[in-house]
Amino acid sequence: MSSIERSLNVKAKPARKRSFLSALVSDYQLWLMILPAIIVIFIFNYIPMYGVQLAFRDFDFTKGITGGKWAGLKYFKQFFNSPMFWPTIVNTFRVAASSIIFGFPAPILLALILHQLRNQRIKEGLQTVVYMPHFISTVVMVAMINIMLSPRTGLVSNLLKSIGLVQPDTNLLGSTKTFVPVYVLTEIWQHCGWNSIIYFAALSTVDQELYDACKIDGANRLQTIRHIEIPALVPTIVILLILNMGNVLNVGFEKVFLMQNSLNLPVSEVISTYVYKIGLISNQFSFGSAVGLFNTLVNFVFLILTNVIAKRLADISLW
């Protein structure tokens, strides 16, 4: 350390100009390293933002994205007045809200409970197992759902019927009542373990002295969880909750899209699948852009609201 400081002092004084120059040279190297990322993000993230004006224009094939005639809020009004407006909004919120209410606390609980295991090897083995489903692709996941919940031959659907959890005549795959529960529960099955990693990491940073102090004070395991471990998780929980709320309406397109069938469509048509069908399948580019932009704006409002609330209540915020 001291030798570095000394060499810094020696070099910095006589050659101020040169150090400024060398800073510029080194900065040029840094710029060169960050430039590829800047270019990619500019092209693929910022140019489409500019292209959002498509939502306010009549799309004209011959004139490109920005050449169409200005249409103002025409396409937004068209969406608000369309018969698909309320169903898609309600469906999206239903799936999103259920996912957050049930899907968000699940990894926290899992991490807290698995963390109580005293045998390290069993704990690590179990962690490996619960992480695994995360690597399954959405296509395979939906195929597994279809196989397991198939009304006649499905392993899980037969099990649920035999213990009386579902009516014998329900088709878990093609019913407006079961779409959301099936979506949310399989989502938890697949990602709960993976999402708990970050909580495991946070729990492993808890100071051993705190546990020792707890023992001396005669606290039992539940009290230790309540007074030591949960408080240790709070900052992580709040940050993740804010981030999740910012994506509240970005309901996973792939899974919903692949789970859709004519029987569950009344509850499974969400904004993102609607944008895909109306925009790319029916080629209504301007209308599709308007619906997509509406979705993004609602997300943005949710993000800001949660951030404000978190700042007020817990003094934790993203910015």
- Binding flag, residue 295, another protein (CB under 8 A): yes
Among 193, 173, 191, smallest CA distance to 182 is for 173
Query: Interaction with another protein in 173-192: which residues (CB under 8 A)?
Result: 189
Q: Which of 92, 236, 268, 306 binds another protein (CB under 8 A)?
A: 236
Task: Identify residues 66-105 at the interface with another protein (CB under 8 A).
Answer: none
Measured between alpha carbons, how far is 287 from 57 in angstroms, rounded to an integer?
Answer: 9
Residue-wise DSSP of 103-172 = HTHHHHHHHHHHHT---HHHHHHHHHHHHGGGGS-HHHHHHHHHHHT-TTT-HHHHHHHHTTSS-TT--T
Position 303 contacts another protein (CB under 8 A): yes
Return the residue of 14, 36, 72, 83 that touches another protein, per CB under 8 A.
Answer: 36
Among 280, 282, 305, 308, binds another protein (CB under 8 A): 280
15 belongs to the binding site for another protein (CB under 8 A): no
Residues sharing a CB contact under 8 Å with residue 61, sequence separation 6 or more, in sequence order: none
Which residues, at least 6 apart from 269, have a Cβ–Cβ distance to it below 8 Å?
Answer: 84, 87, 88, 91, 260
197 binds another protein (CB under 8 A): yes
The C-alpha angle with vertex 211 and arms to 209 and 215, in degrees rounded to 5, equals: 115
Burial of 134 (0-12, 13-18, 19+ CB in 10 A): middle
List 158, 170, 175, 317, residue binding another protein (CB under 8 A): 158
Among 84, 100, 148, 314, indicate the residue that binds another protein (CB under 8 A): 148
Q: Is 108 in the site for another protein (CB under 8 A)?
A: no
Among 44, 167, 313, 315, interactor with another protein by CB under 8 A: 44
193 in contact with another protein (CB under 8 A) = yes
Q: Report the nearest approach of another protein to the CB of residue 137 (Å).
A: 4
**Smallest distance from another protein to CB 196, Å:** 11
Q: In 3D, which of 66, 63, 36 has the Cα closest to residue 48?
A: 66
Binding mask 50-69 for another protein (x = CB under 8 A): xxx-x---------xx----
First to last CA, the chain: 34
Q: Which of these ranges, 82-90, 163-171, 174-182, 196-204, lies near another protein under the rule CB under 8 A?
A: 196-204
